[in-house]
Structure 1
């Protein structure tokens, strides 16, 4: 698995999140705006309020995804890393870790990579470590074999 392919897959996933949030906002706005006045009184306003809350919730999700995309666009894929930091791809011989954002396990070309943030427990443990360094995480010893 190359860092370029992994990055392309991650950006595609984030683009999907952005489009999904935009679509959800549009649908919630349409539902809110199509809500008809009811003779029951408060039912009309309650429905509109719920739809507006749905719009706001999806706007927050959209903002998070767009901010994440902007962060990831700042990664220099050609940079050679001497230590684990934001944008590095780390191998311990068994697992790959992409230090960027918490997206979980991503499959590319039949191989798995854990996309983690520096704020995660394992991200904190790996941060600023070099090839050959060992960390203890969840009762296991992890030795850094390669950093890209």
Structure 2
């Protein structure tokens, strides 16, 4: 399992998301400025709604920036147990524990990226190859850890 490739894919997705949110924020700010200059005070509600949208986008951007920070601290060294930076194969799927970025494909395998805060990771955290855990009344066995 090539962890460097997995990290590269995730970093690329994070960079794309950051650029996307920064662009949306800039466009929304620009439309907010247009509203200010061309409309009177009776359109304060519209400006406030645009400001709330900017705040919402900023929150989402901050979440992605936090994921980027988590990823920068992760090592690609092999892991002996389930921990941050581990690739874990269970009888139900393949998981990369780092930042939650959804499903990625590496070496023609689908890998679900999950955060250490997810219930799945909390259930398997610290376990070693061959151990089992239960989540949502489903037993899973850890088949391999990289």
Give the TM-score normalised by the residue count of structure 1.
0.87
Matches within 5 A, 1:46-65: 46-65=45-64
**Aligned mates of 2:23, 2:137 — CA distance in 1:** 44
Structure having the higher strand fraction is 2
Match in the other structure for 2:66: 67
Q: How far 1:110 moved relative to its partner?
A: 2.9
Aligned residues: 144
C-alpha separation in 2, matches of 1:135 and 1:64: 29
TM-score, normalization: structure 2?
A: 0.88
Q: For residue 129 of structure 2, give the secondary structure of its aligned residue in structure 1.
A: coil
Unaligned runs of 5+ in 1: none
Q: Partner residue of 1:25? A: 25
Partner of 2:110: 112
Distance in 2 (alpha carbons) for counterparts of 1:134 and 1:53: 45
SS at match of 2:81: coil
CA distance in 2, matches of 1:130, 1:144: 7
Give a deviation string over 1:99-118, Cα, whole Å, max 9, x none: 11222322234311111122
Specify the alignment match of 2:84 in structure 1: 86
- Asked whether 1:9 is paired with 2:17, we answer no
Q: Where does structure 1 differ by over 6 angstroms across 4 or more consecutive aligned residues?
A: none
User: Which one of 84, 95, 98 corresponds to residue 97 of structure 1?
Assistant: 95
Q: Which structure 2 segments of 5+ residues have no match?
A: none
Give RMSD over aligned pairs.
Answer: 1.7
